[in-house]
Amino acid sequence: MAENSVPLPGSIDLTRSRGYAPTVLERLHGWLVTVDHKRLGILYVTYGILFLLVGGAEAIAIRIQLAVPRNDFISAQVYNRFFTMHGTTMVFLVGMTIIFGFANYLVPLQIGARDMAFPRLNAFSFWLTAFGGLLLYYSFIGGSGLSGAGSAPDVGWFAYAPLTARAFSPGHSTDYWALALIVSGFGTLGTAINIVTTVLSMRCKGMTMMRLPLFTWLMLVDSGLTLITITPLTAAQIMLLIDRYLGGHFFDTQAGGSAVAWMHFFWIFGHPEVYVLVLPAFAIANEVIPVFSRKAIFGYPAMVAASVGIAFISLSVWAHHMFTVGMTSFSNAFFVLSTELVGIPTGIKIFNWLATIWGGKIRFATPMLFAIAFLFQFLIAGLTGIMLSIAPWNWQLHNSYFVIAHFHYVLVGAIVFCIFAGVYYWYPKVTGRMLNDTLGKWHFWLFLIGFHVTFDTMHFLGILGMPRSIYTYEPDRGWKTLNMITSAGGIIQGIAVLIFAFNLFWSYFHGEPAGDDPWDAWTLEWQTSSPPPVYNFAQDPVVRSRRPLWDLKHPEDPDWEYEG
Amino acid sequence: MSATTGMPAAYEGQWRLPPRGKVGMSSLIVGESAIFTIFVVAYVFYIGKSLSGPTPRQVLEVPIFATICLLSSSFTVWMAERAIRRNRVSTFALWLGGTICLGLVFLGGTAIEWHKLIYQDRLTISTNLFGTTYYSLVGLHATHVVIGLLMLTIVFLFAVTRRVRGQHAERITVLSMYWHFVDAVWVVVFTVVYVIGR
């Protein structure tokens, strides 16, 4: 599609294979035993999107239940299970798998490597994560033991003590929850180690740290953050299992243990986790925004520094989830200030993206639409975040729908929008076909409208005092209309996601052939064919600037003459 | 292609990247440190919060001999690494065997200590908060010693069957990094459990 034809001669092997077609069973076996980073990346993202549909269905059920007062679409017990499973699924089985899928697929390609640093560890990590997901969902069948009826975990995604103690959570559902997160946590740890090592040790010639594509840079920061974020959760889950199975007293207040300790341990994981999820969203925006604005990213070193800064600051903000627990005024002040500090590097990023778009020749293709929506929504998410970081304001609105609205603005408005941008952007590279643009526009506009109808409204519900995690409410509370609107938005989002899923499937067979570089982009993954051959590059690439493909396409005006 | 991208030929010789094994093991150690940090913080936080006995002061004895053994195993594994770098496989096997013995002595010390605590002092993981935090933290460390010993033993078996040679020195370094980490963690555990906590 693009004028400048890549791959260049020599970058892929043109020798024809001997025309041997493997059987279906052989193909499946190939996917099962694969250690290829591209196939594992596809497995991660497919797995994540399947669970996106499952977690989305749970959200729809929650919203149908809340659409009208005193509804009994699902019982209180099922409601508790659904919001627990919705949260756990979306964070661990959707967010984490999709972002690591992107990293798996793209990082080796962007740094001109043959594969990840440890391909077998990579496969092992994926299957651990996949097994963790199955373990979590098996609780629907085995949560009360095989003889009893099934019950999924119902303790909320942050599973505060002492609700998780044996006395209050009998049966095995909470154990499935803890074990699933330990298992998938080890998978995540393996992947994080792999990505850090790949970026540091597998770069092609000339790919110095300050020439890394920003996507790769952010995935490096993200994986480094993951190393020290997911492990405290594993430690806390081990303590929980010791309490539940060996009669330990970590979170047993009757034996001197502390329920607040669990809160600290959980949020020491839980808050940096938000940044683990959002940094890859920034990473995708860093690739999409420059390519569709036809300009190099504005302020590359500042972007790198801001990302490292965000990761660093995010480690010291966790207790802003706990203002209502009752901390000393020193702790309150510390966590208010550290939380507000995050606004500085994040603000730098927003201004840099705006400066990249400014004066650019903007192409409003589907990936760019999602990226622009992300910019706008992430700004609002950040502003409500600053509101919530102020302790007195937090005391007023904690555990209300305002908080739900705020973090869904981050998780959906920023992260999911960027994931969609990334899928539309890289799908041609992965499959060799473009995603259908008409369906893509329908997906975008419906999802955008549905998103705002749902989550803008939720802010008002929160201010009107509607608490989170309630399965129904009285008709005279004044929440009726807004809840109906919120639920309607949820349905619109559901339809949009189904259109997206259909588009993924349909375009794989009927999409317009993409060519190797459909967006006229600048990073190394667009230099090889679409889909890339197993070996990625027949010759190891050599780079001299941050935009190696720009240099190839414009030898008269290469980037290295400008970069310091 | 280097011609099209305009890379000066002189650049090609001096492209150095950090070795994969060391970077990977360092990352693992960073992650593991976070796990230990949470357990150590829990231990410190719960010191003196037990509602019933026995207390650490009543039952804990400082395991000086086991500690000396474990810490000196850092020296022996370093000597082993030095030997394999010079391609001296027999010396390597000897030092490695010494490391494994010292590790086993340490584990034996822990076993005797736990036996005394359980059968003589009636302290189990469910007795009180001290028991919960003590067995978790020391047990987590002991688990890491066991894993380290398994890996060292595998390498030892390869060494006595002459399958390890000088070119494997890089991998031995990675393994010894893990072992040094296990030792370093013990210094922290020792300080917290037997010095501060007693």
Domain boundaries, chain A: 38-561
Average pLDDT over residues A284-295: 97
End-to-end CA distance of chain B: give it in Å, rounded: 67
User: Cβ–Cβ of A544/B18 closer than 8 Å?
Assistant: no
Tokens of A43: 């497995």
Average pLDDT over residues A498-524: 95
Percent of chain A residues topping a pLDDT of 90: 89
Give the one of B2, B32, B37 whose C-beta lies nearest to A542's C-beta. B2
pLDDT tens digits, residue range B64-122? 999 999 999 999 999 999 999 999 999 999 999 999 999 999 999 999 999 999 999 99
Q: Name the band, by pLDDT with cuts 50, 70 and 90, for residue A562.
A: confident
Average pLDDT over residues A304-329: 95
Angle between helices A96-110 and A37-67 (to 10 degrees): 150
Q: Alpha carbon of A17 to those of A13, A20, A516, A533, B4: distances in Å? A: 10, 8, 20, 12, 28
CATH number of the domain at B60-198, out of 2.60.40.10, 1.10.274.10, 1.20.120.80, 1.10.760.10? 1.20.120.80
Cβ atoms within 10 Å, residue A434: 22
Average pLDDT over residues A292-306: 96
pLDDT at A452: 97
ipTM of the complex: 0.93
pLDDT at A495: 97
* Chain B residues within 8 A of A542 when measuring between CB atoms: 1-2, 5, 7, 12
Tokens of B71: 């810490």
Cβ atoms within 10 Å, residue B180: 16
User: Cβ–Cβ of B27/A117 closer than 8 Å?
Assistant: no
Q: Who's near A37: CB < 8 A, 6+ residues apart? A: A104, A105, A107, A108, A115, A116, A119, A122
Task: Return the residue in A231, A253, A269 with the most chain B beta carbons within 10 A, the one to mutate for interface testing.
Answer: A231
Predicted TM-score (pTM) of the model is 0.94
Residue A521 distance to chain B (closest CA, Å) = 16
Task: Name the residue of chain B whose CA is nearest to A549's CA.
Answer: B5
Give the one of B24, B34, B128 whose C-beta lies nearest to A232's C-beta. B34
Q: Which residues of B touch A (CB under 8 A)?
A: 1-2, 4-7, 11-12, 15, 17-20, 23-24, 27-28, 30-35, 37-39, 42, 45-46, 49-51, 125-126, 128-129, 132-133, 136, 140
B10 has pLDDT over 90: no
CATH architecture of A38-561: Up-down Bundle (1.20)
Tokens of A257: 């243990």
Contact between A474 and A417 (Cβ < 8 Å) = no
Contact between B42 and A250 (Cβ < 8 Å) = yes
User: Cβ–Cβ of B2/A192 closer than 8 Å?
Assistant: no
Longest pairwise C-alpha distance within chain B? 78
Q: Is A542 helix (H, G, I), strand (E, B) or coil?
A: strand
> How many angstroms from the chain centroid is the CA of residue A45?
10
pLDDT at A145: 60
Q: Is B109 helix (H, G, I), strand (E, B) or coil?
A: helix
User: Cβ–Cβ of B31/A255 closer than 8 Å?
Assistant: no
Residue A246 distance to chain B (closest CA, Å) = 7
pLDDT tens digits, residue range B137-190? 999 999 999 999 999 999 999 999 999 998 999 999 999 999 999 999 999 999
Cβ atoms within 10 Å, residue B108: 12
Whole-angstrom distance, CA of residue A503 vs CA of residue A299: 35
Compute the mean pLDDT over every residue in chain A, rounded to the nearest whole number.
Answer: 93
Residue B178 distance to chain A (closest CA, Å) = 15
User: Per-domain residue ranges for chain B?
Assistant: 60-198
Whole-angstrom distance, CA of residue B176 vs CA of residue B79: 10
